[in-house]
Amino acid sequence: MNDTDGKKPLGLGGAARPGQVKQSFSHGRTKSVVVETKRKRVLVPKPGAPTAKPPGSGGPSQVSGDPSKRPAGISDAEMDRRMAALRAAKVRDVEDAAKRVVEEKVREEERAVRVAEAEAKAREEREHEEALRLKAEEDARHQRDAETREKKKEDVRKPAGSGKPEPIVDPAAAEAAASRAETKGVASVGPRKTDRDRVDRSTTTDRDARGKAKTADDVRRTGKLSLSEAMNGEGGRQRSMAAMKRKQEKARAKAMGIHAKPEKQVRDVQLPETIVVSELANRMSERAADVVKSLMKMGMMVSINETIDADTAELVVEEFGHRSVRVSDADVEHVIDTVVDSAEHLVPRPPVVTIMGHVDHGKTSILDAIRHTTVATGEAGGITQHIGAYQVRTDTGAALTFLDTPGHAAFTSMRARGAQVTDIVVLVVAADDQVMPQTIEAINHAKAAKVPMIVAINKIDKYEANAQKVRTDLLQHSVVVEEMSGDVLDVEVSAKTGQGLDKLLEAIALQAEILDLRANPDRAAQGAVIEAKLDIGRGPVATVLVQNGTLRAGDIFVVGEQWGKVRALINDKGERVEAAGPSVPVEVLGLNGTPQAGDVLNVVETEAQAREIADYRIKLARDKRAAAGAATTLEQLMAKAKADKSVAELPILVKADVQGSAEAIAQAMEKIGNDEVRVRVLHSGVGAITESDIGLAEASGAPVIGFNVRANAPARAAANQKGVEIRYYSIIYDLVDDIKAAASGLLKNEVRETFIGYATIKEVFKVSGVGKVAGCLVTEGVAQRAAGVRLLRDDVVIHEGTLKTLKRFKDEVKEVISGQECGMAFENYDDIRKDDVIEIFTREEIVRKLD
| Interface contacts to ligand GDP, rule CB under 6 A | 357, 359-365, 376, 382-384, 458-459, 461-462, 494-496
Is residue 577 within 8 A of residue 550, CB to CB? The reply is no
As measured in angstroms, the least distance from the Cβ of 572 to ligand GDP is 18
To 10 degrees, the CA torsion angle through 811, 813, 815, 818? -10
As measured in angstroms, the least distance from the Cβ of 848 to ligand GDP is 30
State which residue, 385 or 391, has the beta carbon closest to ligand GDP.
385
Number of Cα atoms under 13 Å in the Cβ half of residue 146:
6
Is residue 559 within 8 A of residue 611, CB to CB? The reply is no
State which residue, 189 or 430, has the beta carbon closest to ligand GDP.
430
As measured in angstroms, the least distance from the Cβ of 378 to ligand GDP is 12
As measured in angstroms, the least distance from the Cβ of 459 to ligand GDP is 4
Long-range contacts of 613-619 (CB under 8 A, 24+ apart): 613/332, 613/333, 613/335, 613/336, 613/558, 613/563, 614/558, 614/560, 614/561, 614/562, 614/563, 616/330, 616/332, 616/333, 617/558, 617/560, 617/561, 618/561
User: Exposure string (b/e) for 265-302, b if CB count within 10 Å is 16 or more?
Assistant: eebebebbbbbbbebbbebbebebeebbebbeeeeeeb
State which residue, 578 or 737, has the beta carbon closest to ligand GDP.
737
As measured in angstroms, the least distance from the Cβ of 470 to ligand GDP is 13
Cα–Cα distance for residue pair 310/620, rounded to 1 Å = 13
Phi then psi for 249, rounded to 5 degrees? -60, -40
DSSP state letters, 425-465: EEEEEETTS---HHHHHHHHHHHHTT--EEEEEE-TTSTT-
| Interacting residues of 809 by C-beta distance below 8 A, sequence separation 6+ | none
State which residue, 378 or 769, has the beta carbon closest to ligand GDP.
378
As measured in angstroms, the least distance from the Cβ of 711 to ligand GDP is 30
State which residue, 365 or 543, has the beta carbon closest to ligand GDP.
365
Cα–Cα distance for residue pair 737/739, rounded to 1 Å = 6
Q: Which of 163, 169, 25, 188 lies closest to 100, judged by CA?
A: 163
Cα–Cα distance for residue pair 43/47, rounded to 1 Å = 7
Q: Where are the alpha helices (DSSP H) in 449-579?
A: 467-475, 501-515
State which residue, 364 or 391, has the beta carbon closest to ligand GDP.
364
State which residue, 349 or 363, has the beta carbon closest to ligand GDP.
363
As measured in angstroms, the least distance from the Cβ of 525 to ligand GDP is 31
State which residue, 178 or 383, has the beta carbon closest to ligand GDP.
383
Phi then psi for 369, rounded to 5 degrees? -65, -40
CB count within 10 Å of CB 729 equals: 22
As measured in angstroms, the least distance from the Cβ of 380 to ligand GDP is 12
State which residue, 94 or 376, has the beta carbon closest to ligand GDP.
376
State which residue, 368 or 836, has the beta carbon closest to ligand GDP.
368
State which residue, 430 or 774, has the beta carbon closest to ligand GDP.
430
Output the CA–CA distances (angstroms, integers) from residue 808 to 364, 748, 758, 816, in the order listed: 74, 38, 16, 8
| Interacting residues of 645 by C-beta distance below 8 A, sequence separation 6+ | none
As measured in angstroms, the least distance from the Cβ of 471 to ligand GDP is 17
Helix axes of 691-700 and 634-643: crossing angle, nearest 10 degrees: 30
As measured in angstroms, the least distance from the Cβ of 333 to ligand GDP is 39
> Between β-strands 453-458 and 750-767, what pairing exists: parallel, antiparallel or unpaired?
unpaired
State which residue, 82 or 361, has the beta carbon closest to ligand GDP.
361
As measured in angstroms, the least distance from the Cβ of 272 to ligand GDP is 45
Phi then psi for 794, rounded to 5 degrees? 50, 45
Cα–Cα distance for residue pair 804/802, rounded to 1 Å = 7
As measured in angstroms, the least distance from the Cβ of 476 to ligand GDP is 21
As measured in angstroms, the least distance from the Cβ of 673 to ligand GDP is 23
As measured in angstroms, the least distance from the Cβ of 330 to ligand GDP is 43
Instruction: State the first-to-last Cα distance of the chain, in angstroms, to the nearest integer.
Output: 107
State which residue, 332 or 431, has the beta carbon closest to ligand GDP.
431
State which residue, 279 or 461, has the beta carbon closest to ligand GDP.
461
Is residue 527 within 8 A of residue 547, CB to CB? The reply is yes
Q: What is the 3-state secondary structure (H, E, C) of 718-764?
A: HHHHHCCCEEEECCHHHHHHHHHHHHHHHCCCEEEEEEEEEEEEEEE
